[in-house]
């Protein structure tokens, strides 16, 4: 710890006689006295940051409740639906590329206001959309907002709160993030109950119309939190460290005094000065690019990037986004799946509360190790439960191909009679008559698509559709991203080819609730460790000089991984089953456990400058930190 020293010397950052410095301090403290007390202001900071987490949670969670109705009414194929889900994550990737630069140019406060306003604008774009392109545009705007929030709010908290409050402040961001997901799930549950009531009327036209109304209304309900976040951000002060690096030392001291006692504010300002002086001394005679390759920059940056990437490979965003679909496929009804999703989000919120209470007591490293170990065990249990059912999958490709009979498209209703016929033709008559799901992988030339899973015991469900427009990309740019080596011209005239038509027995309700329990365990361990600590690792590990841009790069990697996983989720599940997907998530989480257990330093109770000093001085590597 640096010595306290006296605030009576010329400043390294700006300089000035002793009398001027004392006068400056007196003026600042007088102005602060008329404002909120530090404890009250800290609570307000946490509240506003929590609103940012609320928006982030709504961004992630809102699609889960809307997805079943969007699938039923939009006419989009599995690949397009996957991209609608992934579009938020893609927007996040785009915005995080520039979030650090914007945070440095605009300031943390103004970027928070901008991100909230962008979220508010995205809602009517989505809710009023009547085309795939408009839907994607709105979801991209939501993602851009989420990416800005994901960078600027943890960055702002890390730079504004004291070491004693920083853990709980960032944890509050994560807790209200989970509350946002709970709120989104509750809204989805309400409309699920309404859809069930409409379904009892037996009118497919009315049911279709209400499902279309349901998913649009789910998005409209999420508008007020965005407006509230904008209003809350208008009243907070700017980050003291951003002000200091802009040469505005007086405003930096004022900002520190709003959230700290005078002696602590003076100490942290001196630490900023000493850190800046050390940077200038180290950079003397060298290019700036060379100084960025020092150990204290490279090592924490690489650890943070790895942790952010592995945090997504737990499958958290995919499991949240497709939660109701997963539970339906595991054996629950539509309403039961929505109840299961609500319980899932409540468990996440409660476990996050536990994490909030423990993060500044037990430390980041302990909670991350415990959480990742529990996530691995939960994912393996989920994979086992799905394997028990998917082991009996039957491929009825030949029967479906016979129905094509030279046509360029095919539409069919998956009924119990059709299921019995196909399963018997495939030589598995022992499975005939059981409730099942049908997933068809079809292709035109080099390009393939997967239909959403259809239930044999859902007579009012929309028919399974296979068409060239839902499979073959509209232009060469989209074709390149779908299959870089694919022949687009040949695919536009190629016949419809059925690659697989997979009938999977629908599991029992008991199996569905067992899967729900394993997912509850998964999200509890995730919320307790990675859910809270990943934001702290991101904001605390990055040195001041590269914090905003370093956080942007790390979050780009994080969201790129999340986007990739969300985009391939349904096609992968359609081809290989949920078992494969959950085993893949478990394998990556094992690597996550090893990383945090052996390579992550403990940052509990340390100032940002102390953490930076550790990486520049430690000889034993990160694992040596306590």
Average pLDDT over residues 441-464: 83
Q: In the 3-class helix/strand/coil scheme, how is 158-172 assigned residue by residue?
A: HHHCCHHHHHHHHHH
Residue 609 is predicted with a pLDDT of 64
Which of residues 304 and 319 earns the better pLDDT score?
A: 319
* pTM higher than the cut 0.75: no
Phi, psi torsion values for 501, nearest 5 degrees = -135, 100
Which of residues 296 and 619 earns the better pLDDT score?
A: 296
- Half-sphere CA count of 317, side-chain side, radius 13 A: 32
Q: From CA 24, how far away is CA 7, in angstroms rounded?
A: 11
| C-beta of residue 501 within 8 angstroms of C-beta of residue 395 | yes
Q: From CA 180, how far away is CA 196, in angstroms rounded?
A: 24
- The candidate with the shortest Cα–Cα distance to 327, out of 536, 65, 513, is 513
Tokens 């037990």 belong to residue: 362
| C-beta of residue 68 within 8 angstroms of C-beta of residue 325 | yes
Residue 370 is predicted with a pLDDT of 92
Residue 2 is predicted with a pLDDT of 34
Residue 376 is predicted with a pLDDT of 96
* pLDDT of 79 over the 80 cut: no
pLDDT confidence tier of residue 3, bands split at 50, 70 and 90? very low
Interacting residues of 537 by C-beta distance below 8 A, sequence separation 6+ = 303, 304, 307, 308, 364, 368, 600, 603
Cβ atoms within 10 A of the Cβ of 51, count? Answer: 26
Q: What is the pLDDT of residues 414-440, one digit of tens each?
A: 888 888 888 888 887 766 667 888 888
Phi, psi torsion values for 616, nearest 5 degrees = -85, -15
Q: Do strands 464-466 and 410-412 pair parallel, antiparallel, or not at all (unpaired)?
A: antiparallel
- The candidate with the shortest Cα–Cα distance to 543, out of 271, 199, 307, 348, is 271
Q: From CA 78, how far away is CA 470, in angstroms rounded?
A: 9
Residue 9 is predicted with a pLDDT of 34
Sign of the alpha-carbon torsion through 328, 331, 336, 340: negative
Q: From CA 435, how far away is CA 431, in angstroms rounded?
A: 9
Q: For residue 163, give both structure tokens.
A: 């070491």
| C-beta of residue 540 within 8 angstroms of C-beta of residue 158 | yes
Q: From CA 234, how far away is CA 39, in angstroms rounded?
A: 19
pLDDT confidence tier of residue 624, bands split at 50, 70 and 90? very low
Q: For residue 341, give both structure tokens.
A: 């999703």
Q: Where are the alpha helices (DSSP H) in 391-474?
A: 397-404, 416-425
- The candidate with the shortest Cα–Cα distance to 67, out of 175, 191, 230, is 191
What is the residue-averaged pLDDT of the chain? 78
- The candidate with the shortest Cα–Cα distance to 443, out of 26, 79, 100, is 79
Tokens 């015991």 belong to residue: 457
Residue 558 is predicted with a pLDDT of 76
Q: What is the pLDDT of residues 518-554, one digit of tens each?
A: 999 999 999 888 888 777 766 677 666 666 667 677 7
Lowest mean pLDDT among 2-11, 171-180, 612-621: 2-11
Q: For residue 150, give both structure tokens.
A: 């994901």
pLDDT confidence tier of residue 373, bands split at 50, 70 and 90? very high
CATH class of 38-237+297-388+511-624: mainly alpha
**What length is written for the chain?**
626
SS3 content of the chain, % helix, strand, coil (to 5): 75, 5, 20
Beta bridge partners of 465: 411
Burial of 417 (0-12, 13-18, 19+ CB in 10 A): exposed
H/E stretch holding 221 reads none
Burial of 133 (0-12, 13-18, 19+ CB in 10 A): exposed
| C-beta of residue 147 within 8 angstroms of C-beta of residue 559 | yes
| C-beta of residue 52 within 8 angstroms of C-beta of residue 108 | no
| C-beta of residue 187 within 8 angstroms of C-beta of residue 65 | yes
Domain ranges of the chain: 38-237+297-388+511-624, 394-510
Residue 190 is predicted with a pLDDT of 84
* pLDDT of 603 over the 70 cut: no
Sign of the alpha-carbon torsion through 568, 570, 572, 578: positive
3-state secondary structure of 294: coil
Average pLDDT over residues 288-303: 63
pLDDT confidence tier of residue 353, bands split at 50, 70 and 90? confident
Average pLDDT over residues 49-77: 77
Lowest mean pLDDT among 283-287, 333-337, 558-562, 622-626: 622-626
Residue 80 is predicted with a pLDDT of 74
- Half-sphere CA count of 294, side-chain side, radius 13 A: 22
3-state secondary structure of 447: strand
- The candidate with the shortest Cα–Cα distance to 58, out of 139, 162, 114, is 139
Residue 433 is predicted with a pLDDT of 65
Q: For residue 555, give both structure tokens.
A: 């979050």
Q: From CA 119, how far away is CA 561, in angstroms rounded?
A: 22
Q: What is the pLDDT of residues 155-199, one digit of tens each?
A: 787 777 776 676 667 677 777 777 887 887 788 888 888 888 888
Q: What is the pLDDT of residues 24-61, one digit of tens each?
A: 444 434 443 335 677 777 788 778 877 877 877 777 67
pLDDT confidence tier of residue 456, bands split at 50, 70 and 90? confident
Q: From CA 232, how far away is CA 215, in angstroms rounded?
A: 28
- The candidate with the shortest Cα–Cα distance to 401, out of 388, 412, 415, 390, is 412
- C-alpha distances in Å from residue 408, one per residue of 118, 155, 438, 450: 42, 53, 20, 16
* pLDDT of 568 over the 60 cut: yes
């Amino acid at each position: 710890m640096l010595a306290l020293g006296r605030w009576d010397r010329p400043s390294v950052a700006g300089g000035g006689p002793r009398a001027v410095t004392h006068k400056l301090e007196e003026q600042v403290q007088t102005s602060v006295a008329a404002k909120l007390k530090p404890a009250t202001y800290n609570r307000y900071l946490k509240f506003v940051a929590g609103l940012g987490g609320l928006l982030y949670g709504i961004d992630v969670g809102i699609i889960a409740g809307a997805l079943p109705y969007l699938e039923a009414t939009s006419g989009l194929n599995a690949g397009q639906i996957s991209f609608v889900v992934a579009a938020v994550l893609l927007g996040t990737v785009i915005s995080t590329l520039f979030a650090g630069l914007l945070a440095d140019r605009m300031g943390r406060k103004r970027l928070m206001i901008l991100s909230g306003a962008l979220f508010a604008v995205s809602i009517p774009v989505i809710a009023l959309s009547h085309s795939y392109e408009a839907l994607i545009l709105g979801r991209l705007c939501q993602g851009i907002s989420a990416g800005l929030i994901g960078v600027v709010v943890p960055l702002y908290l890390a730079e504004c709160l004291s070491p004693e409050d920083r853990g709980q402040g960032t944890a509050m961001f994560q807790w209200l993030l989970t509350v946002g997901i709970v709120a989104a799930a509750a809204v989805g549950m309400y409309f699920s109950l309404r859809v069930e009531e409409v379904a009892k009327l037996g009118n497919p036209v009315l049911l279709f119309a209400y499902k279309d109304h349901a998913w649009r209304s789910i998005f409209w309900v999420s508008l007020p939190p965005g407006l509230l976040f904008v209003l809350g951000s208008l009243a907070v002060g700017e980050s003291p460290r951003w002000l200091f690096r802009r040469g505005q030392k007086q405003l930096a001291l004022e900002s520190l005094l709003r959230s700290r006692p005078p002696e602590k504010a003076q100490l942290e300002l001196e630490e900023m000065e000493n850190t800046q002086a050390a940077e200038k001394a180290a950079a003397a005679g060298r290019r700036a690019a060379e100084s960025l390759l020092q150990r204290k920059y490279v090592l924490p940056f690489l650890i943070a990037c790895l942790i952010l990437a592995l945090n997504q490979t737990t499958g958290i965003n995919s499991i949240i986004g497709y939660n109701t679909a997963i539970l339906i496929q595991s054996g629950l009804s539509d309403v039961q799946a929505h109840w299961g999703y609500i319980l899932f989000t409540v468990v996440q919120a409660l476990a996050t509360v536990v994490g909030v209470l423990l993060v500044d007591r037990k430390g980041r490293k302990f909670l991350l190790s415990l959480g990742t170990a529990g996530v691995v065990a939960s994912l393996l249990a989920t994979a086992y439960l799905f394997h028990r059912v998917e082991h009996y999958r039957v491929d009825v490709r030949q029967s479906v191909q016979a129905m094509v009979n030279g046509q360029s498209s095919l539409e069919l209703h998956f009924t119990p009679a059709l299921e019995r016929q196909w399963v018997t033709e495939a030589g598995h008559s022992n499975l005939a008559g059981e409730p099942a799901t049908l997933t068809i992988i079809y292709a035109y030339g080099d390009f393939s698509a997967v239909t959403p899973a259809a239930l044999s015991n859902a007579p009012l469900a929309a028919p399974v559709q296979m068409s060239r427009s839902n499979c073959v990309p509209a232009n060469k740019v989209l074709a390149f991203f779908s299959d870089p080596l694919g022949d687009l011209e040949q695919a536009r005239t190629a016949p419809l080819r059925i690659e697989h038509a997979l009938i999977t027995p629908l599991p029992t309700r008991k199996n569905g609730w067992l899967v729900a329990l394993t997912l509850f365990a998964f999200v509890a361990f995730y919320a307790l460790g990675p859910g809270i600590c990943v934001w702290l690792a991101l904001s605390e590990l990055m040195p001041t000089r590269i914090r905003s841009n370093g956080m942007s790069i790390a979050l780009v990697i994080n969201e790129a991984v999340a986007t990739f996983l969300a985009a391939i989720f349904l096609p992968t599940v359609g081809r290989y089953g949920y078992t494969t997907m959950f085993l893949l998530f478990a394998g990556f989480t094992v690597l996550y456990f090893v990383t945090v257990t052996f390579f992550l330093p403990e940052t509990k109770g340390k100032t940002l400058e102390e953490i930076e000093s550790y990486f520049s001085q430690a000889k034993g590597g990160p694992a040596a930190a306590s």
